[in-house]
A and B are shown apart, each in its own frame.
Chain A
């Protein structure tokens, strides 16, 4: 199984600042995914991070607000820019393991951001 480490696990951020979340995987993966989970809501896909190319953003999410880096096959970062209280959420990194039948999907422990 893939082991995913996310940093930070929690943070309290000031309005207007930016924060970068790191995601490290213990094996090489083609695609990494970034999700947002607002309080009481389901997970929403922000973008798919591919190594060597620009991230693919879902409707409602833009690169200026959520820039993503994917420098290699085991690491990605998501930046939440110019934060407002509406950005208070859990941000989750996810990868897909295609080596197992049923393509198991793994999630990191999440980064719980509170914007004040």
Chain B
């Protein structure tokens, strides 16, 4: 069964600090991996998307890494801001990469404290 496990479940850090969120998956065969940011009560917003051949992808202060051999990804947030408080969801697509076969993680709930 395809699974996506995220850790930690929740995280509290001080404003300005860096943090790294983890995603392990068992989806096979694998096509691409996406990270989304979801503010409370809102829809997910895409941060990055990586295919199996990509190792890293940046979007401003967000940097995602991917190790397709170990089936692990991380999302690194640099110089955190209060607006980074949200849930971060890892989403994996099987071969074909379409939207109808996605496996979602439960997300990491990140709280940035002033």
Residues A105 and B89 in contact in the complex (CB < 8 Å), given A42-B104, A43-B104, A112-B41 = no
> Closest approach, in angstroms, between the C-beta of B35 and any C-beta of chain A?
12
B102 sits at the interface (CB 8 A): yes
Per the 8 Å Cβ criterion, residues 12-40 of B in contact with A are 32, 34, 36
Q: Could you name 14 residue pairs across A and B whose Cβ atoms are closer than 8 Å?
A: A6-B43, A33-B99, A42-B107, A43-B102, A44-B104, A45-B102, A90-B41, A92-B44, A94-B99, A104-B49, A105-B99, A108-B43, A109-B42, A109-B43
**Cβ B89 vs Cβ A96 within 8 A:** no
Q: Are A96 and B99 interface neighbours, CB within 8 A?
A: yes
Interface residues of A (CB under 8 A from B): 4, 6, 10, 31, 33, 40-45, 48, 56, 90, 92, 94-96, 102-110, 112
Contact B106 A42 (CB under 8 A): yes
Decide if B99 touches A42 in the complex (CB within 8 Å).
no
Instruction: Give Cα A107–Cα B42 distance, bound, in whole angstroms.
Output: 9
Contact A48 B100 (CB under 8 A): yes
Q: Of the candidates B42, B43, B46, B105, which one forms a contact with A42 in the assembled complex, judged by CB atoms under 8 Å apart?
A: B105
Interface size class of B (residues with CB under 8 A): 20 to 34
Judging by beta carbons under 8 Å apart, are B45 and A107 in contact?
yes
Answer whether residue B8 sits at the interface, using C-beta atoms and an 8 A cutoff: no
B45 nearest in chain A by CB position: A107
Distance of A41 Cα from B109 Cα, bound (Å): 11
In addition to A45-B100, A103-B99, 8 A-B residue pairs with Cβ atoms within 8 Å of each other are: A31-B100, A33-B99, A42-B105, A90-B41, A95-B99, A105-B34, A106-B46, A110-B43
Shortest distance from the beta carbon of A57 to any chain B beta carbon, whole Å: 12
CA distance A56 to B107 in the complex (A): 26
Contacts of B99 in A (CB 8 A): 31, 33, 94-96, 103, 105
Q: Which residues of A contact B34 (CB under 8 A)?
A: 105
Complex formed: what's the CA distance from A108 to B43 in Å? 5
Chain B residue numbers with a CB within 8 Å of A48 are: 100
